[in-house]
Structure 1
């Protein structure tokens, strides 16, 4: 009998408040995850940006974000909910959507069903019983079916696919691919065949921040993540993110966050 393979990366179900622990940068700064996630907002409201487009969210909104999708969302003390982190690489197996999905759930039965599906995954994670990986994939499969069924209704927010939205999405996709390089907004604009001024104007229109802020957000989110989650020396982080020197990285990081890299690491 063939042995069941372990999942490449673990499922996780966390309260949104725990995701934000350590500072608002953990949710608001532009970044991406290496695995698909589902955000389930049960209380509060704010704005969420995905692929260069900003829209509002309220209570009882579910947002699916594919792996590698740059995003960030406002989260204050009134916002509550859960995040489900799928294992990396299960998208095809579970038939998860290729693009972000924003579901505005108006029916109480939808809320109950989604809570039940998430609770089942959380219970399996806590029990850790035999064949847990297989059980988790089964539960996740039911969750993916639920998402697909909701997408067939009228609860999905369809983004306006005008030229501005497409350009902002293309820019964020390129940034996600190359943020660890020394590329500037001018370099990205040249690749996209537009001027830096036009690119920033489009990004401002689509998500309320200029192209330079999106790029800086992504770079400094990664810097803060490496400072808090690894023991990499500051000079190695600077090199990994495409800075010309550790001194230049320290100046840029301090300007962006108000603290030096070393002070940020000590206070994390």
Structure 2
């Protein structure tokens, strides 16, 4: 409902000052959800990547204003600052693994495209009984056993599990975006820097030529690299980031359409409405009513 204030937690229900000290936190979905009546209210995490696997039950989730059905085999990637909520069926279970970006610095340092691939929220499905499902489930189960124990080199082991779980999602995102062959490091680094710059400047509505110039690349090369690594053009990256923010504001704030328009850098609310409707298939006001 519009007008709600969306809280930021370290883990759901825990203050930001209650940071867990581990490289990886992992728990069963039911451990926290059952305490809250199987309903997790809208919230976000500033510094955490979260990785979910549903093994039993299901329900619904809303991620940045978009609703998704959850069934056994559903996997969720939630990057930092993603607004999300859940309405689980009773006795739903699976795993939720949380890792700060600093815990994944080895992965990001060795695989430059990983940060870009993990930079957008996603809800995917892997068939129960498939090798992909079995592999992720086994890794998360072993990680949870390590997390619960107090064994030597525990922190090193948890960091390794954080890398393994995040790597599974990197591969899943690459597959979901139909990336058929590995990217060269230079091309992946260009896309990573572009995504980071879009995150910092999407409200300024910089022209694509400005982005390319700042990154030392031509527009065709930048867009081609985005298509090969992310599955869509560089212009689409900018538009999608604006749409994410627009959906958030429409669903989670009471701001008027004009206020949202100006906050997102549009000088004309009517143009913003046309921009939104073309991509969402609904006007902003209709989207807010249906959300």
| Category of TM-score, reference length = shorter chain | 0.5 to 0.7
Deviation at 1:197, TM superposition (A): 1.8
Q: 1:113 aligns with which of 125, 142, 153?
A: 142
The CA distance in 1 between the partners of 2:194 and 2:252, in whole Å, is 27
Aligned to 1:11, the other structure's residue is in SS state: coil
Q: 1:34 aligns with which of 30, 46, 58?
A: 46
Q: 2:287 aligns with which of 257, 264, 267?
A: 264
Structure-2-length-normalised TM-score: 0.53
Q: Could you report, residue by residue, the CA deviation over 1:155-202 in whole angstroms, capped at 9, with x for unpaired residues?
A: 947975522111111110100111122213222112112222221111
Aligned to 1:97, the other structure's residue is in SS state: helix
Q: 2:161 aligns with which of 141, 146, 150?
A: 150
Conservation of the 8 A alpha-carbon contact between 2:51 and 2:96: yes
Aligned to 2:50, the other structure's residue is in SS state: strand
Pairwise mapping of residues 57-96 of structure 1 onto structure 2 (< 5 A)?
65=79, 67=80, 82-84=95-97, 91=100, 96=103
The CA distance in 2 between the partners of 1:221 and 1:151, in whole Å, is 27
User: Residue in 2 aligned with 1:196?
Assistant: 219
Instruction: Verify: 1:220 aligned to 2:231, yes or no.
Output: no
Unaligned runs of 5+ in 1: 1-6, 19-31, 44-58, 70-79, 121-137
Q: Could you report, residue by residue, the CA deviation over 1:94-131 in whole angstroms, capped at 9, with x for unpaired residues?
A: x62233588x884875332335679x8xxxxxxxxxxx
Structure-1-length-normalised TM-score: 0.57
Unaligned runs of 5+ in 2: 1-6, 13-26, 34-43, 56-72, 83-92, 109-113, 119-131, 171-181
- Equivalences, count: 194
User: Residue in 2 aligned with 1:131?
Assistant: none
The CA distance in 1 between the partners of 2:164 and 2:96, in whole Å, is 23
